[in-house]
Amino acid sequence: MNRSNKVRLSLILYLNYFVHGIGLIILTQNMKTLSGEWGTPLAVVSFAISGMGIGKLIAYYALGSLSDRYGRKALVVFGMGLYVVFFFGITLTHDFHIAYLLTILAGMANSALDSGTYPTFLEMNGNNGAYNILIKAAMSLGEFVLPIYIGLNENLGGWYGMSFIITGAILLINLILISRTKFPQRPKTEKQISQRLFSERLTAPKIGMLIILSIYGYTSMAVMILFTQWITLYGIDFLGMNNLQAHFLLSLYSMGSIIGVLLIFSILQRGLIRDIRLIVGLNGLSVLNLLVICFSTHPLLVSITSFLFGVTAAGGVMQVGLNIFSAMFPHAKGRVTGIYFSFGSIALFTVPIITGMLSKISTAAALRFDIVLALISLVIWVIGHRLMDSIESSDLSRERRQINSIDFFILKLLQRRFKHVRAIGLKKIQQNGTIFDSAREKEILDKIEQKIRDKENSRYYQSIFKSIMTSSKNYQSEVQEKGRVQ
């Protein structure tokens, strides 16, 4: 597959997820209008939204294997087609039952897109998963743009259905584009080895982790779904915000989630923090942000914390959980992902039902339920942290992770040192100085000797520094040679 084909296909696939980001919140962002259109109370609209989770759950396993059998393109096109029906269909119906069926279709569309797209990115990029993280960013972009559009549209008195029609039209154009785009060739189907999830004996801490990760598959998704569903109405009902300001809260959250994706990605890539610590920290911060959002009456403060909540709760923390899960069962990554996301799908249909009931008390009661969910996430990860410690105390992984992180810093410092060594090398040409300076080397080694606390290891450290200086001198001669030639 050539580069331009790759770029073209990637853009088409990311555009699908931009649309999917819109699809995830388009009903909740229009809840009040839809309640009028369908002639049903808010709780019933909320119930209809739950159809998405049901559709996703029903379709997940079946579509996964269909994707392996009939190819990725068929699945992606199928998902896009279902989504088109959903977007146009909702504007045409006034019947809640039909709307419910349409949301089930939207859920199935999501499953079809997932099962076609994630493997495509892996197959196109030599199994590098980084491109799949950008899917989350594309979704967040959709979730960022839509509330602003709806807020503006409502203020101008425009028809609510326009956002559905525009989104459907984008998908239709994308369908035409994708029909003319090649997908990567799949590697010849390897012999399917039936991988047992529990190939080794499960110890008590591992069973504990399995339970925690299943619960977290649910709560991490639920925390996000609940917030996106209720924050706008909460802004209007409780903070006295106008339409645009209230919709903008969700856009701030989406912006936060994009920043969060980039932040978490770079933290993990550098190995700066252990993933288990990161997940405890992020969940703790999510609880704090939610407390401010749910109990402060200050619109600016709620706006800032909505952004921060996007970073901590929607910036890929769910993916961090999945990574921990996959690392524990390296031979059954596919199945582990299926289990994890299935619990997420259950959240997708239960949260609207539960919060629909709570909304009969008040919008605030619905939103505040998010604190309960976030607290559950925090508590299970505090327990999970201890369990992981006991699992890891017996193998080499904990120490190796520390070494990875230390090496990262050593390398950074060496690179800085080399910059100065180079500058000195160039100055020495002008001053006609020799590269080797025994007095300076002695001074450095003496200073180091004084600082060493574990004297029994002194000769090792001395030898490392001597070796660094030898490399510096070699580097300087190379730099000087090049400098003289120029």
Ligand X SMILES: O=C(O)C(=O)C[C@]1(C(=O)O)C=C[C@@H](O)C=C1
Interface contacts to ligand X, rule CB under 6 A: 421, 424, 436-437, 440-441, 444, 469, 472-473, 476
Residue number, 189 or 438, with CB nearest to ligand X: 438
Residue number, 155 or 470, with CB nearest to ligand X: 470
- Contact criterion met (CB below 8 Å) for 318 and 221: yes
Q: How far apart are CB 65 and ligand X at their closest, in Å?
A: 60
Residue number, 207 or 410, with CB nearest to ligand X: 410
Residue number, 395 or 446, with CB nearest to ligand X: 446
- In angstroms and rounded to an integer, the radius of gyration of the C-alpha atoms of the chain is 27
Residue number, 408 or 436, with CB nearest to ligand X: 436
Taking alpha carbons only, the member of 315, 345, 328 closest to residue 64 is: 345
Q: How far apart are CB 472 and ligand X at their closest, in Å?
A: 3
Q: How far apart are CB 484 and ligand X at their closest, in Å?
A: 17
Q: How far apart are CB 437 and ligand X at their closest, in Å?
A: 4
Q: How far apart are CB 408 and ligand X at their closest, in Å?
A: 22
Residue number, 263 or 424, with CB nearest to ligand X: 424
Q: How far apart are CB 438 and ligand X at their closest, in Å?
A: 7
Q: How far apart are CB 412 and ligand X at their closest, in Å?
A: 17
| Alpha-carbon span 324 to 130, nearest angstrom | 16
Residue number, 399 or 443, with CB nearest to ligand X: 443
Residue with tokens 């230390």: 406
